[in-house]
Amino acid sequence: MDDLDIRISGRAGRITFTRPKALNALTHEMARAIHRALNAWRDDDAVDLIIIDAEGDRAFCAGGDIAAIYHGALDGNHQIGRDFFADEYRMNAAIADYPKPIIAFMQGFVMGGGVGVGGHAKHRIVGDTTQIAMPESTIGMIPDVGGTWLLSRAPGWIGEYLMLTSARMGPGDAIHAGFADTYLPESEWPALIAKLEKTGDAGLIEGQTPPPAPLADRDLSAYGGSTLLEITDALERARDEGGLKPVRRNSPLSMAAGLAMVRAARGDRKIQESLAREYRFTYRATEAGDFIEGVRAQIIDKDRNPNWKMPGSTKKVADMLASLGDDELTWKDKA
């Protein structure tokens, strides 16, 4: 397919994003194609490891391509989004549980759906241009694609901070927060990829000392509040305008639900539990959430002035995260 280059090179299965003009945004078919390739290589003795990378300097993958979801929902077809998310989450879980080493080379923007592909790989390599974020609350969504799983395992209150503010992490912060493993200047990536292709030995990966991680020294205690209101009050008392600006701007429902989900994920034993919880929200997001308004304001009309209508109340969060019954996310391979 035009959006991905999937092939075997040497001892490596190769998956390369090839739509740099679209910041390598992930479509539904791309998610399915990645999953199919992983299935094909799982028991292939000719493939020792998997390399996932991307063309272009600006982005590994800046998120999911949600235009079809938006337009379908406007026409009353909410199943387009539900099918996309279900297949994407199954692919995310397949990466996380894959029996062979998966190495992701993540340059530029790595957001949303890009985190779902690269963030669950066994070896996550970042460089100087890397900017990782989970900005879903800006469009009325929650950190999905296993994002709540990753955020829940960040040190201290970093997970809450990243979820509520949509802040971007450079390479040092990404490694400190557990979204990456290895720093290596991007100029050295081609040589490492060639070595991995030739040998099939992920043990040859050697990084360098990463840049500083500002989050390691930042006081984020305000984000330890038990509710969004408590966190907002703490930020106001601290006169933390940098923290207050996004909290005042982003979707109240997305932030309240995201806060509950990150904390619930701390008790999860496997990523599938977090993904299933995320699916309950995203299943309902186009019909009963603020997703349509968020996409309109940020991506379609680009007026950056969303009119959020859904409350961030305890009841609304509970409704969005309630069991889907027969529609709960299952893990039967549909790739």
Q: Is 325 a catalytic residue?
A: no
HSE at residue 81, side-chain half, CA atoms within 13 A, is 27
Q: Give the span between the Cα atoms of 16 and 329, in whole angstroms.
A: 28
Q: Give the span between the Cα atoms of 129 and 106, in whole angstroms.
A: 9
How many residues does the structure list for the chain?
A: 335
Q: Is 64 a catalytic residue?
A: yes
- Annotated active-site residue in 53, 87, 144, 173: 144
- Annotated active-site residue in 13, 108, 113, 147: 113
Q: Give the span between the Cα atoms of 86 and 91, in whole angstroms.
A: 9
Contact 169, 132 (CB under 8 A): yes
Query: Which tokens is 42 given?
Result: 């799982």
Q: What are phi and psi of 147, to 5 degrees?
A: -65, -35
* Coil, strand or helix at 188: helix
Burial class from Cβ neighbours inside 10 Å (0-12, 13-18, 19+) for residue 302 reads exposed
Looking up tokens 């100087």 gives 128
Residues contacting 331, CB < 8 A, separation 6+: 90, 93, 272
Q: Give the span between the Cα atoms of 106 and 239, in whole angstroms.
A: 35
Task: Give the helix ranges, DSSP H, for 97-216.
Answer: 113-118, 147-152, 158-165, 171-177, 189-199
- Annotated active-site residue in 53, 87, 136, 181: 136
Contact 116, 139 (CB under 8 A): no
Q: Give the span between the Cα atoms of 334 and 99, in whole angstroms.
A: 19
Q: Is 144 a catalytic residue?
A: yes
- Annotated active-site residue in 10, 64, 159, 207: 64
Residues carrying an active site annotation: 64, 113, 136, 144
